[in-house]
Structure 1
């Protein structure tokens, strides 16, 4: 630095016009060789002055612009409309505009992305006199923004694919449609947690095991994601296979317990298995629970009770404690099987809990089994303001 505060000449690259002008205090050189474009226009946009930087960027000769073209004529149609409807009115009202992103049409036809800052000067009477505009090359910024947009689009597409995959995978854990025998009404409903982008561990199944006998399986595998999906698939198909091998629900669940210990010893699940018999005496349920909520029964007279006894969680102990229990159903009875996402649905510090579940069952008891299942899920969702905190699976049995 010199004593006057300027740059020492020996340290300045004088072949650079801008820095040479800075040292020599040459205003015209500073204007023409600035690292941004400068243009001055009349209030109607007519160009009256332009620097060499902007001419070099756009490829125009000075004589082709000064006094002959208006700045807005160098804009593509869309930006020209924006100039007339937004840029110019805002400039007249506020006296300045900042960081307006537009494109300039170069002499070659190329479009140059730029950022524009303008100030409006007025005469002594307050009338608009001149517009001074600084123009900055935004090519690299635009490329960066486009890359960000492209990355965001790819992320959204990837998320959409993941959500679709999760939905497809989750659907494989549920029957395509709940088919009821002619002597019984069965309905099922499932709602994933959140936006459904992650595979949960809740599942249910309804299938025929023989003439006059049907089975319902419902369970909740610990965890979420790919690992939970693998274990859930194992649970669903093991229960189906075991149900064809033995008529006892406790033995079916014991088979699943053994499979978990053998193939996935780090995972566990809770499950219900219900065998349904239709005999001359009526409809009988045989129930076993592996650490799962017991089925809720609403009798035709409005009284509630549970069916069965709660055994131990599957996949944890060497020998599970499982028992079979039976119950006869009468016309008008409704039995509800559900996962913990129902009663543990949260709103602030409150849970949906069993009392609200009983109310939801009572309010919908006159409906079909499918409508009751849908109503229960809808009630829990409404309680949580539409944001499911956990997966929910519900199966309803109703005796006509």
Structure 2
């Protein structure tokens, strides 16, 4: 047998030639062995008889008409059915040989074994499914951890209105946190902060921050003292091996005639915005405070104000101000956009203000790259 004849007869792929109406004229030994038959036995049978029932239907109703229309088929996936009932996935390619008048004369068909390809695809699919399941499990754990780091509800004192929103980062567990809680029968504490970094370490620091400030405020409500104690605890618990720091605003609310007296201190956090009943919006002057955890001798800046009927104070994290907009180079608050946004709403209740910010964040889409937390505290009119 010549090399060419041997290649036809015993090559790695099945080969056959058939009439335009699908009757097999000749088939090689490789194809016959896959079908548990012989080349002579296959001669005179229809091509479609080689396939499973589903394959026959597809070949006769779709593949064969397409072959006659276009003159070729490329890599069609079907299954051969052997004489013993076993199945073999294959890829079928074909083209048409025309006679001198341009009419179809012979169908040339090549059939490639696809078992290893199918096995590879199944393994790949299983690995992909496993990865998706693991990702879903990790996401579920992350969501549970995020929820555990935020208060289940705000303890809003009588005469005050409060609203909050937290939008997590899509990348990892972040470190934004906030709370509003009672300190005594007539005083409440509040805070909003942002831990540097992401992931489990940031989550651990976040949890430490929340409970430390709650505990420290019970002993001494002075906001600057609370931040100093927070700084000491962070240094003791995290140590030099895991340096971490956070920015935070901590304050207290005490009801007075017609509103609330607010005492607060900043540890390197963006200044709160005050939306006044008059329609003005301005930042509180608490610049100069250092982030908590940077040094063992930090400087924190305090301030006080009164919230009266119609006034609302907004605390926020830098996920809002640093959201990318437009071409992705500019940040939302590069040119004072947050103050203009607040001024356009003032006066606004806490609920309305947070709803508008939630809608604003939604408009940024993927431009919001970091966790974002907002907390609004106001006195209803």
Question: How far off its partner does 1:181 sit?
Answer: 2.2
1:202-256 deviation per Cα after TM superposition (whole angstroms, max 9, x unaligned): 1111211211211111111111111111111111111121122221111111121
- The answer for the alignment partner of 2:379 in structure 1 is 399
- The answer for the alignment partner of 2:369 in structure 1 is 389
1:314-347 deviation per Cα after TM superposition (whole angstroms, max 9, x unaligned): 1011111124321111111010000111111112
> What root-mean-square deviation, in Å, do the aligned CA atoms of Structure 1 and Structure 2 show?
2.1
For 1:85 and 1:313, the matched residues in 2 are separated by 72
- The answer for the alignment partner of 2:123 in structure 1 is 147
- Taking a change above 3 Å as real, the CA distance of residues 365 and 48 of structure 1, as seen in their structure-2 partners, is farther
Question: How far off its partner does 1:308 sit?
Answer: 5.0
2:291 pairs, out of 313, 319, 323, with 313
2:136 matches 1:175: no
- The answer for the alignment partner of 1:165 in structure 2 is 141
Q: Which runs of 5+ in 2 are unaligned?
A: none
Question: How far off its partner does 1:82 sit?
Answer: 3.6
For 1:320 and 1:366, the matched residues in 2 are separated by 36
- Taking a change above 3 Å as real, the CA distance of residues 90 and 314 of structure 1, as seen in their structure-2 partners, is same
Aligned length, in residue pairs: 373
Alignment check: 8 A CA contact 1:286 1:326 kept: yes
2:272 pairs, out of 274, 280, 295, with 295
Q: What SS does the aligned partner of 2:249 have?
A: strand
What TM-score does the superposition give when structure 1 sets the normalisation length? 0.87
Alignment check: 8 A CA contact 1:216 1:275 kept: yes
Question: How far off its partner does 1:45 sit?
Answer: 2.3
For 1:362 and 1:156, the matched residues in 2 are separated by 45
- The answer for the alignment partner of 1:16 in structure 2 is none
- Taking a change above 3 Å as real, the CA distance of residues 228 and 84 of structure 1, as seen in their structure-2 partners, is farther
For 1:225 and 1:285, the matched residues in 2 are separated by 33
2:255 matches 1:278: yes
2:119 matches 1:138: no
- Taking a change above 3 Å as real, the CA distance of residues 216 and 81 of structure 1, as seen in their structure-2 partners, is farther
1:340 pairs, out of 318, 324, 337, with 318
1:91-126 deviation per Cα after TM superposition (whole angstroms, max 9, x unaligned): 223312222222212222222111222111122332
1:108-155 deviation per Cα after TM superposition (whole angstroms, max 9, x unaligned): 222211122211112233222221111111111111122112212211
- Taking a change above 3 Å as real, the CA distance of residues 279 and 368 of structure 1, as seen in their structure-2 partners, is closer
For 1:156 and 1:380, the matched residues in 2 are separated by 28
Alignment check: 8 A CA contact 1:174 1:204 kept: yes
2:222 pairs, out of 229, 244, 248, with 248
- Taking a change above 3 Å as real, the CA distance of residues 349 and 259 of structure 1, as seen in their structure-2 partners, is same
Alignment check: 8 A CA contact 1:377 1:392 kept: no
For 1:359 and 1:231, the matched residues in 2 are separated by 33
Alignment check: 8 A CA contact 2:249 2:269 kept: yes
For 2:158 and 2:57, the matched residues in 1 are separated by 69
- Taking a change above 3 Å as real, the CA distance of residues 101 and 272 of structure 1, as seen in their structure-2 partners, is same
- The answer for the alignment partner of 2:341 in structure 1 is 360
For 1:103 and 1:192, the matched residues in 2 are separated by 48
1:212 pairs, out of 164, 170, 186, with 186
Q: What SS does the aligned partner of 1:131 have?
A: strand
For 1:248 and 1:78, the matched residues in 2 are separated by 78
Question: How far off its partner does 1:62 sit?
Answer: 4.3
- Taking a change above 3 Å as real, the CA distance of residues 355 and 95 of structure 1, as seen in their structure-2 partners, is same
1:159-197 deviation per Cα after TM superposition (whole angstroms, max 9, x unaligned): 22222221111111111233422311100001122x3x5
- Taking a change above 3 Å as real, the CA distance of residues 274 and 78 of structure 1, as seen in their structure-2 partners, is farther
For 1:85 and 1:373, the matched residues in 2 are separated by 60
Alignment check: 8 A CA contact 1:360 1:376 kept: no
Alignment check: 8 A CA contact 1:267 1:315 kept: yes
What TM-score does the superposition give when structure 2 sets the normalisation length? 0.91
Alignment check: 8 A CA contact 1:288 1:308 kept: no
2:13 matches 1:36: yes
- Taking a change above 3 Å as real, the CA distance of residues 300 and 367 of structure 1, as seen in their structure-2 partners, is closer
Question: How far off its partner does 1:357 sit?
Answer: 1.6
Tell which deviates more after alignment, 355-364 or 318-327.
355-364
